[in-house]
Structure 1
Amino acid sequence: MTTDAKSRNTDAALRRKRRNLLLTGCTTLGALLLAAIFLMPLGYGAATALKDKDGVSDPNASLLPVSALTFAYEGEELDVYAVPMPDGEVRELALVEPGRESSVFVDPGDAAAGTIDWEGRWRTLEPVTGLAPQWGNFEEAWSTIDFLRLMGWTLMYALTTMLFTVVSSAVVAYGFARFRFPGRGILFGLLMATILLPPAVTLVPKYAVFLQMGWVGTYLPLIVPQLFANAFNVFLLRQYFMTIPRELEEAARIDGAGPIRTFLRVIIPQALPALTAVSLFHFFYAWNDFFEPLLYLAGNRDIVPIGVGLSYFSGVYNSEPHLILAASILALALPVVIFLAAQRVFVRGIVVTGVDK
């Protein structure tokens, strides 16, 4: 190969490398911008939750939780101002004795040096502000809303229904994925058609039935229906079960395992990613569920989950948005921690990769 050909190949390789780097950089930048846009409301809510009431009500206040700085001097809290000195320097001093044409200040960094007399009108000075997150908002919201009670009922509701829907959906999905019986396609089609059925269509009949059964005011209307599977969960699990090699089941059958034992010992361990995804889907749904608990638990505020509890809290404290957002951040904390802890398995279950043969 000639020197010119080698040079051309090298230049082409460098151009491809630069093009790939540019494409990767643009893709990463776009993803970061989309993530920033998506997280902006959450960031605004978190910043507002750390403000005091005056900072929330001031339309000209900063987006960050800032407030005027103070300095404790001889048992008093003094405001700190930016004071221009005769030599042109601007110093941050605490106002001790305000006056019309002259005032007395003290340096917060060197209070032992004594007071400083300043000529001028102190009302023209700009107060010094700094970051001052009000962490007490979370404590106040926690105690006011009785968070432990709400979280206890929410966890009971979410975990119980999660267990029921995962077990029932896995059994139904296994039947559709592995067993052949008359009308299997029609039944599966009817089951999938229920996804298209708006919940509002069945709301009134369900409520009438549960009211006649005396279940309204309890968690039974919310828990018992989860014993009968969910079309979306069945579809997801069925697709995953179909990717599991049949050779594993045949080997278990040769060893004398029946359908139930094969399901428990072979299918379930292989399908943990999909089961985790379904579990998290339902847990997040139940944690954020609002309308049905509000409907079926009406009149029994002592057992409502956290979504309904937050709505009651918002109605009472509608003039204190910083406390409402602090309570919302507290309600959001546990689902976020759970998602981050199970993120890898969750994503693997969504992709539905199956297992290697």
Structure 2
Amino acid sequence: MNHNLRTSRRLKDAVKATAITGLSILLLAMFLSPFLFMVFTAMKSPQQMSALDAPIWPAKQATYTYNGNDLEVFIVPMPEGTKKELAMLKPGREQSIFVDPADPNTDEITWQGSWRTLERPWEWSPRWENFSEVWELINFPRLFRNTLFLAIMSEIGVLISCTLVAYGFARFRFPGRNILFTILISTIFLPAAVTTIPTYTFFLKIGWVGTYLPLIIPTFFANAYDVFLLRQYFMTIPHEMDEAAMIDGASPFRIFWSIILPQSIPVLVAVSVFHIVWAWNDYYNPLIYLSTKPELQPIAVAMARFNGIHSTNPHLIQATALMALVVPLIVFLLAQRFFKQGIVITGVEK
């Protein structure tokens, strides 16, 4: 009896694990399918993009060289009921002449019917030239340089300002602390459109429009989202460590620099990844402040302009998007261990 129960329990566990794994794979496939479609489209040729019967993966129509000429290959139904790949030598409205690539020395084959109704065999053939073509058309070196500069400089501002503000809310007790923190968090719900006109007017009057300053300087004044993540993590660090450092004569800034920050690497990495990805994809702010300076624009703005110009070339558009995705993807893969740890710990209620 016990043996049967154990066998039944193991069978149920195996079925449950198989079902969960299968569902996870299905969800993963659904989630990654748009990305896979983008990769395939980025490697297609213009001819494949215009062909109605083209497969979803990058491919080219099969051809056969006959007497120095490249002939198109079609899947032709034969009289005996089979299908054969034949190269079309002479197309016709009601009948066409083919040759057999497998045995070109045999007699030419005359097929009755419209050759336009025939299927074509396709061969796997990624077109890597799309990426080099886009590299030249959109001037990727300059765009990468502009975007990296904006991302790194604004990242420095975010880390400096947000860590200091979060440290103050996490470690110091002062009147109105909770109210101020609530007001700070409430700014997350403030729509960006509400502050766009006042901030643009201000930056215009002080002569910053057309420069990187409106995109970099505000990051040195903290933001509610990153302050919240950092504060939550700082509050998980025991206060006893601060008290021990105070007994040894450490100042608040010394505690912050030597105790808090070294133990906060996971959340600092998480905040860095969040901001780099946001800065890399930011389109709205650079469009407003750098609209008259195309040589300073980051990749998001240049991609939008490129998409408008090359709207009839989706393979080039997808190649551009794929190339722009490389840097944030590499950053996330390199930092994913610390990133996940920082997110998990900052979610602890304090």
TM-score computed with the length of structure 1 as normaliser: 0.87
Aligned residue among 304, 308, 311 for 1:318: 311
Distance 1:43 1:221 in 2: 37
**Mapped pair 1:344 → 2:337:** yes
Q: Which moved more, 1:148-157 or 1:251-260?
A: 251-260
- Looking at structure 2, the residues matched to 272 and 253 of structure 1 have their Cα atoms a distance apart, in angstroms, of 22
Give the fraction of aligned pairs with identical amino acids, expressed as a percent: 46
Paired position in structure 2 for 1:236: 229
Taking the aligned partners of 1:82 and 1:191, their CA distance within structure 2 comes to 67
Matched AA of 2:221:
F
- Over the residues paired in the alignment, what is the CA RMSD in angstroms? 2.6
Between stretches 334-343 and 152-161, larger displacement belongs to 334-343
Residues 86-133 of structure 1 show CA distances to partners (whole Å, capped at 9, x for unaligned) of 8877553444566896746363x67xx756532435963543222222
Change (3 A) 1:217 1:89: same
Q: Would you say 1:39 and 2:32 are equivalent positions?
A: yes
- Compute the displacement of 1:168 (Å): 0.8
8 Å CA contact 2:85–2:100 kept in 1: the answer is no
CA contact (8 A) 1:97 1:105 kept: no
TM-fit CA distance, 1:268: 0.9
Aligned partner of 2:275 among 247, 271, 282: 282
**Would you say 1:217 and 2:217 are equivalent positions?**
no
Question: Once the two structures are superposed, what CA deviation does each residue of 1:200-238 show, in whole Å capped at 9, x if it has no partner?
Answer: 111110011001011111111110000011111111110
Equivalent residue, structure 2, for 1:249: 242
Correspondence 1:157-236 to 2 at 5 A: 157-236=150-229
Counterpart residue identity of residue 296, structure 2: I
- CA distance in 2 between counterparts of 1:122 and 1:139 reads 42
**Post-superposition offset of 1:83:** 5.2
Partner of 1:105: 99
| Separation in structure 2 between the aligned mates of residue 57 and residue 101 of structure 1, nearest angstrom | 25
Q: Distance in 2 between matches of 1:193 and 1:185?
A: 12
Aligned with 1:267 (options 260, 263, 279): 260
Residue matched to 1:154: 147
1:11 alignment partner in structure 2 = 4
1:137 aligns with 2:130: yes
Amino acid paired to 1:344: R
Q: Secondary structure at the match of 2:235?
A: helix
Counterpart pick for 1:117 among 93, 99, 108:
108
- Which of 72, 78, 83 is the aligned partner of 1:79? 72
Take 1:312 and 1:119, find their aligned partners in 2: how far apart are those partners? 51
Secondary structure in 1 aligned to 2:219? helix
8 Å Cα contact 2:86-2:98 kept in structure 1: no
